[in-house]
Chains A and B, each alone.
Chain A
């Protein structure tokens, strides 16, 4: 059983989105770390140990797809959920093809976010990882 110091690493350039994720997930006991752009996210120490990633598609700098590609090279098994304010089937399809675990359209509410995180982590748990915070 792996012990994780961080549950979720959220990479989004919008402070309000980072704060909202931190608030909702933090209140449920998840440990959340955040980064504001692609470079900060990829350099974040939590990247190596988090249980899942939430990553905006339209990031300043390298962009969400580049983050997804690099994360897949570093940690092929970690679940990555792409979030975006511009949900099109083309974007969703591309994210899934490039190895995203799920796709979350903005704006979401607390229930949608929590459900998604729990479901994603439950699936990784089914593969042998710890699910409880």
Chain B
């Protein structure tokens, strides 16, 4: 049988209370009974003195009738069972119970035992020794009190000469008091004490039941429910953690554990997605490259043999060119999966746009999509990988065409613009490394804000701790928190790993004078934010000092259906697609990877029903190598004389 903590506690406390109260009640009843008996003993003693005193004169004058009358009268009083008088030989000479007059008592009988136990009569006895309690024939208890009547001058000198001068004790007065009333009182006391004890046990059990339910059972029950939910995979579970005692600490620890599990799972999930991209890319590469070899070899072979037929030859050229593009796409996919850095060469972005448009022109014509160009004539070549950049543009054009309705759609217009943009760091520069003062990595690729890995910090306001994902784009404050925080609250910020404080002691927010907190960016100083909720102040001195940077900007804008705001954050994740079964979910992920590799950015603005604008910016000043992933491109061994044939793009 399964027992609950509360039941066990209540049973235990009830048992302890019963033992304690029972023992106390027993002691009280015993003391009460002793006091009553002592009081009755004194009454019996006084009664025997009274009897002795009132019969004294009649005894001296030997008025036997008067003595008998007095004893009988007293013996009939309420509470008095019997009054009797023995002579020295044990014969009952007077008694309120006339039937026993003249009978002799054995000195070893109960009433006589006090004096005669030692074999001879004693002269002086204490009051307690003279009293005895016994049961009468009908079962009720009786207090007996004896009083020896000592010989004195008036006795032996009296006219009757009944007693000689040598006698010590002339007789014994024996008074019997009924204990019926006293016993009834004691029984009543016992009953009320038992009732009180039961009430005390019930009250303490009730109190304990309420306390254990409120303090233990309810928090434990929610903890158990939370654990079950987590076991079933629901990692968004939180349990109430308001208690200020250990169970509250346990609940808070549970919530923190669950949150970290959820974070870890998200990161694993992301890593798993990327690993899947890698496996998929490898599989696709292997499977598709065999048929591509056939197409490419036969087409290029035919192209050379049919030199005399220019029309056919032109068609074959298209086949060869497009097959080579397929080859580049497959390589791009592999490159994305392997995060290969681009091979930068001065590239005319306008030229890339024109080539990309030529590639997708057929598709755009079918979809009745119009193109509108605004290409800057004075755009300087930007250091970029032309093939990768072409992939980006083709991808954006195809996405735009899809957003305009796809093939057979009503059409619309895609605007393509290029220009040189001098971009201020604010609102643009991205934090790509973030560390706490002790060096813990704070960048969280598992939670992205508009595509960029967020900065994970711990916010503490009062006794509430919440993980906050800071927007890594400098000057933009699209932070995300698990729980909202009231505007105006100044919170403390910590590293979620080592709990080191991120608050800068020597700097305060110049706007509202609240404390500021900061993270370290490798080689680029610190980024600071105001700790007051609602204050948007932030500063990245190293970036501000570097000033505006020149970028080649490419905008692809459509008047299509737009993207829902909840999808915008996931747009660049692998396998995320808004196109349903038509989309692989890889296009924008590859685009993102290519632009990351270039140290560039891609931004998206979209309004459902109005259209979408992608803005690509490629830096003219290439970031230092520390900023790009340190991965090596496929490298051909020098020993082979035929490496030229194997290097991508050598054909």
Contact indicator A119/B294 (Cβ below 8 Å): no
Assuming the contacts A101-B640, A106-B293, A107-B296, asked whether A23 and B301 have C-beta atoms less than 8 A apart, the reply is yes
Q: Among A93, A107, A116, which residue has its beta carbon within 8 angstroms of that of B323?
A: A107
Residues of A within 8 A of B285 (CB): 85-86
Residues of A within 8 A of B641 (CB): 102, 119-120, 122-123
For the complex formed, measure the closest distance between the CB of A105 and the CB atoms of chain B, giving whole angstroms. 5
Contact indicator A115/B645 (Cβ below 8 Å): yes
Residues of A within 8 A of B323 (CB): 107
Contact indicator B297/A92 (Cβ below 8 Å): no
Assuming the contacts A85-B285, A102-B641, A103-B637, asked whether A109 and B632 have C-beta atoms less than 8 A apart, the reply is no
Cα distance A103–B642 in the bound complex, in angstroms: 8
Check if B512 is an interface residue, CB within 8 A of chain A: no
Check if A19 is an interface residue, CB within 8 A of chain B: yes
Contact indicator B642/A120 (Cβ below 8 Å): yes
Contact indicator B636/A86 (Cβ below 8 Å): no
Residues of B within 8 A of A111 (CB): 300, 651
Assuming the contacts A107-B289, A108-B645, asked whether A102 and B640 have C-beta atoms less than 8 A apart, the reply is yes
For the complex formed, measure the closest distance between the CB of B65 and the CB atoms of chain A, giving whole angstroms. 140
Residues of A within 8 A of B642 (CB): 81, 101-102, 104, 115-116, 119-120
Select from chain B the residue with minimum beta-carbon distance to A107.
B292
Cα distance A85–B282 in the bound complex, in angstroms: 9
Contact residues, A73-122 vs B (CB, 8 A): 81, 84-89, 92-93, 96, 100-113, 115-116, 119-120, 122
Check if A20 is an interface residue, CB within 8 A of chain B: yes
Contact indicator B289/A89 (Cβ below 8 Å): no
Cα distance A19–B295 in the bound complex, in angstroms: 11
Contact indicator A96/B289 (Cβ below 8 Å): no
Assuming the contacts A16-B290, A16-B294, asked whether A89 and B643 have C-beta atoms less than 8 A apart, the reply is no
Residues of A within 8 A of B645 (CB): 102, 104, 108, 112-113, 115-116
Residues of A within 8 A of B292 (CB): 106-107
Cα distance A90–B298 in the bound complex, in angstroms: 30
Residues of B within 8 A of A23 (CB): 297-298, 301
* A89, A106, A109, A115 pick with most chain B CB within 10 angstroms: A109
Check if A24 is an interface residue, CB within 8 A of chain B: yes
Contact indicator B646/A102 (Cβ below 8 Å): yes
Cα distance A26–B221 in the bound complex, in angstroms: 80
For the complex formed, measure the closest distance between the CB of A96 and the CB atoms of chain B, giving whole angstroms. 4
Interface string of B622-651 (1 = CB under 8 A from A): 000000000011111101111111101011
Check if A58 is an interface residue, CB within 8 A of chain B: yes
Cα distance A84–B292 in the bound complex, in angstroms: 12
Contact residues, B321-349 vs A (CB, 8 A): 323-324, 326-327, 334, 338
Check if A127 is an interface residue, CB within 8 A of chain B: no
Residues of A within 8 A of B296 (CB): 107-109
Check if A66 is an interface residue, CB within 8 A of chain B: no
Check if B554 is an interface residue, CB within 8 A of chain A: no
Cα distance A87–B286 in the bound complex, in angstroms: 9
Residues of A within 8 A of B320 (CB): 109
Contact residues, B285-314 vs A (CB, 8 A): 285-301, 304
Cα distance A16–B295 in the bound complex, in angstroms: 9
Residues of B within 8 A of A81 (CB): 642
Residues of A within 8 A of B634 (CB): 87-89, 92
Cα distance A90–B359 in the bound complex, in angstroms: 33
* A85, A92, A93 pick with most chain B CB within 10 angstroms: A85
Contact indicator B289/A85 (Cβ below 8 Å): yes
For the complex formed, measure the closest distance between the CB of B279 and the CB atoms of chain A, giving whole angstroms. 11
Contact indicator A103/B291 (Cβ below 8 Å): no
Cα distance A87–B650 in the bound complex, in angstroms: 15
Contact indicator B290/A93 (Cβ below 8 Å): no
Check if A39 is an interface residue, CB within 8 A of chain B: no
Residues of B within 8 A of A42 (CB): none
Interface string of A10-50 (1 = CB under 8 A from B): 00001011011101100100000000000000000000000
Contact indicator A102/B297 (Cβ below 8 Å): no
For the complex formed, measure the closest distance between the CB of A107 and the CB atoms of chain B, giving whole angstroms. 4
Contact residues, B555-583 vs A (CB, 8 A): none
Contact indicator A106/B651 (Cβ below 8 Å): no
Cα distance A18–B400 in the bound complex, in angstroms: 41
Select from chain A the residue with minimum beta-carbon distance to B290.
A14
Q: Among B294, B327, B640, B648, which residue has its beta carbon within 8 angstroms of that of A17?
A: B294
Contact indicator B300/A110 (Cβ below 8 Å): yes
Residues of A within 8 A of B290 (CB): 14, 16-17, 85, 106-107
Select from chain B the residue with minimum beta-carbon distance to A117.
B642
* B633, B639, B645 pick with most chain A CB within 10 angstroms: B645
Contact indicator A102/B300 (Cβ below 8 Å): no
Select from chain B the residue with minimum beta-carbon distance to A95.
B637
Cα distance A123–B326 in the bound complex, in angstroms: 32
Cα distance A80–B635 in the bound complex, in angstroms: 19
For the complex formed, measure the closest distance between the CB of B280 and the CB atoms of chain A, giving whole angstroms. 12
Q: Among A19, A88, A105, A120, which residue has its beta carbon within 8 angstroms of that of B646?
A: A105
Contact indicator B293/A107 (Cβ below 8 Å): yes
Residues of B within 8 A of A20 (CB): 293-294, 297-298, 301
Contact indicator A109/B297 (Cβ below 8 Å): yes
Q: Among A16, A85, A102, A109, which residue has its beta carbon within 8 angstroms of that of B643?
A: A102
B residues neighboring A (CB under 8 Å) = 282, 285-301, 304, 320, 323-324, 326-327, 334, 338, 632-637, 639-646, 648, 650-651
Other than A96-B639, A112-B645, give 4 A-B pairs with Cβ distance below 8 A.
A87-B634, A102-B645, A107-B292, A116-B645
Closest 3 CB pairs of A and B: A85-B289, A16-B294, A107-B292
Q: List 12 A-B contacts (CB under 8 A).
A: A24-B297, A27-B301, A81-B642, A86-B289, A88-B334, A102-B642, A106-B290, A107-B327, A108-B296, A109-B297, A109-B651, A115-B642
